Amino acid sequence: MILQVLAQIPTDGVTAPLVEESTSRLVTPRIPWSYLTPQLILFLGAVIGVALVALLPKRLPKYLSALATVVLAAGTLVSIVPLWGRVGNAREGAISAWSGAIGVDRFGLFVTALICLAVLVTALFADSYLRREGLDGPEFYLLLMTAAFGASIMAISNDLIVLFVGVEILSISSYVLTAMHARRVTSQEAGLKYLVLGGFASAVLLYGLALIYGATGSTNLLQIQVFLSERVLTSDGLLLGGLGLMMAGFGFKVGAAPFHMWTPDVYQGAPTPVSGFMASAVKTAAFAGMIRVFVVGFGSAAELWRPIVFVMAVLSLLVGSIVSVVQSNVKRMLAYSSIAHAGFILLGVHSATERGTSAALFYLASYTAMALGSFGIVALAARRGEHLQKLSDLRGFATAHPGLALAFALLLFAQSGVPLTGGFIAKLGVIGAAVDQGDWALAVVAMITAVISTFMYLRIIVSMFFVGGGDHGEEPAGFEGPPVNVSWTSMVGLGIVVVATLFLGILPGTVKHWSNQAVVEMVRDSGR
């Protein structure tokens, strides 16, 4: 059938070689595999890993899975470096493959690099955590890699269906990761809540996608972009409905209010390294998808979706900062603070400019480091059996473990936006992008809520550093329970995130430059 159709194509000068070549054999799309090296490493790593685990003898060294994950994540990072140059230069530029379903540009590579860093640090923290909790085995790491694969697919998808497949690969892996701690009831409860609400959000996202397909006639972002730029849409119910539903789905995935209900429960119940991974990699991937679809794909219809993002940003900032103040569980506090951070990143999305995108990317980079470190320290301080629940459990932590307490304080200060840390430059960037577009109201709300959340971060720091009598005049209590064992892998992970946080604050130039270069470029599939 295909061959017959091809034979009817007139053989003029341009198409002649193509037709001659293709009449002899079936036409297959030409796929530039080398551009997909980062995704291939993650995917093949996970698939071959599963096969090896099934085939190899049971008694493998315990550190092997963590080591393999770290090596693969580092390998992915290294493979991004040459691609960054190839995609960026004028001769080759960004590419599009699989008839435009996937587009590799610097934006996608930047996000993939962040996700790989998150995998690397999570694996370092998880090694000692999983052994301590008696959960050690290759499953956690394999799921971490499939999740990272899905996340990186989201970052390079140029088609709504590919994006949805990426979302689901990431989500389904995270459901299992959340429910991983089979002996703790809270972990299972969190897993079920995440599964039900996540499935609901996926269905809403997919329905929005269907409506957009109906309104524009395509699921390809480039074709949607062309479709929208050729028409002036005044009131298209289908498109508006689709945009609203898709925004709700993305709002859920990034954990922005009013779709944030799952965040505190899931972050609290999930194994702590998984909470860190969700705050960093899952959030980063969801924002990457959101920016690709809305800022670029629906860029010319920005006036339709910007009001929704405005409301989401304001609500996230207010809910995240105010509700976090009244929490007593440390992981819940960090979960609410992640909602507030989502609000800040939405400021960058709301501006719908290249400056906003690069500010959001820089924010994601610095938040990745801060969130991984904060949850990592909570995982260490909790010890076997999750002793760290309430804020008062942290009392005396600084006297018992001054180094860890200092690192935790630094990461919390960074989250609140203290100068000389990555958090300050990041907040400056998104607020600057908002002011650039004349959104003074949004900028003012952001700054006020930053002050409110600072109070919450100070509460954690005060409870660590000041032993003093309790609120009701009882005897000062020290840091109780078994001692904290800090393995060298956790030290390395902690070192990476602390250095990254300080580096982003003191010398932000390099990463700022990269995030400025990381613009989304949608090009036609040239068949190259």
d(CA 75, CA 38): 8
- # of chain residues touching another protein (CB under 8 A): 42
189 binds another protein (CB under 8 A): yes
Place of tokens 């949004």: 442
Give yes or no for a contact between 317 and 345, defined as CB atoms under 8 angstroms apart. no
How far is the C-alpha of 340 from the C-alpha of 313, rounded, in Å?
Answer: 9
Does 154 bind another protein (CB under 8 A)? Our answer is: no
- Indicate the SS3 state at residue 474: coil
Both tokens assigned to 269? 């119940």
Which of 327, 357, 368, 515 touches another protein by CB under 8 A?
Answer: 327
Q: What is the 3-state secondary structure (H, E, C) of 19-46?
A: HHHHHHCCCCCCCCHHHHHHHHHHHHHH
* Per-residue contact string for residues 95-114; x = within reach of another protein by CB under 8 A: --------------------
**Please, what is the minimum distance in Å from the beta carbon of residue 266 to another protein?**
9
Who's near 5: CB < 8 A, 6+ residues apart?
A: none
**At 95, which helix (H) or strand (E)?**
strand 95-97
Is 297 among the residues that bind another protein (CB under 8 A)? no
The single residue listed with the structure tokens 């409870």 is 463
436 binds another protein (CB under 8 A): no
Q: How far is the CB of 115 from another protein (least distance, A)?
A: 20
Q: Which of 43, 125, 175, 294 binds another protein (CB under 8 A)?
A: 175
Separation CA 173–CA 177 (nearest Å): 6
Q: Which is nearer to another protein, 117 or 278 (CB)?
A: 278
Residue type, 184: R
Q: Which position among 33, 63, 200, 488 is part of the footprint of another protein (CB under 8 A)?
A: 200
213 makes contact with another protein (CB under 8 A): yes
Of 214 and 469, nearer to another protein (C-beta) is 214
3-class DSSP string for 234-247: CCCHHHHHHHHHHH
- Rank residues 182 and 451 by Cβ distance to another protein and give the closer one: 182
By CB under 8 A, name the one of 49, 103, 255, 269 that touches another protein. 269
Among 64, 210, 311, 435, binds another protein (CB under 8 A): 210
Asked if residue 385 binds another protein (CB under 8 A), the reply is no
- Residue 413 is classified by DSSP as H
Among 50, 192, 240, 311, binds another protein (CB under 8 A): 192
Gyration radius from the chain CA atoms? 24
- Joined tokens for residue 407: 């690192």
**Residue 431 is a binding residue for another protein (CB under 8 A):** no
| Residue 453 contacts residue 318 (beta carbons within 8 Å) | no
Q: Does 325 bind another protein (CB under 8 A)?
A: no
Beta bridge partner(s), residue 159: 220
User: Is 165 a binder of another protein (CB under 8 A)?
Assistant: yes
What are the two backbone dihedrals, phi and then psi, of residue 32, each rounded to the nearest 5 degrees?
Answer: -75, 80
DSSP string, 360-406: HHHHHHHHHHHHHHHHHHHHHHHTTTT---BGGGGTTHHHH-HHHHH
| Coil, strand or helix at 140 | helix
Contact flags string 214-243 toward another protein, x per CB under 8 A? x--xxx------------------------
Question: In whole angstroms, how close is the CB of 477 to another protein at the nearest point?
Answer: 23
Q: How far is CA 104 from CA 137, 272, 445, 463, in A?
A: 34, 33, 36, 47
> Is residue 164 close enough to count as binding another protein by CB under 8 A?
yes
Residue 322 interacts with another protein (CB under 8 A)?
no
Residue 328 is a binding residue for another protein (CB under 8 A): yes
- Can you tell me which of 19, 161, 308, 322 binds another protein, judged by CB under 8 A? 161
197 versus 486: smaller Cβ distance to another protein: 197
CB under 8 A: which stretch of 11-19, 61-69, 159-167, 355-363 binds another protein? 159-167
The structure tokens 């005044």 sit at 234
**Any contact of residue 196 with another protein (CB under 8 A)?**
yes
Check binding of 47 to another protein (CB under 8 A).
no
Q: Contact between 206 and another protein (CB under 8 A)?
A: yes
Query: Binding residues for another protein, per CB under 8 A?
Result: 161, 164-165, 168, 172, 175-176, 179, 182, 185-186, 188-193, 195-196, 199-200, 202-204, 206-207, 209-211, 213-214, 217-219, 264-265, 268-269, 327-329, 332
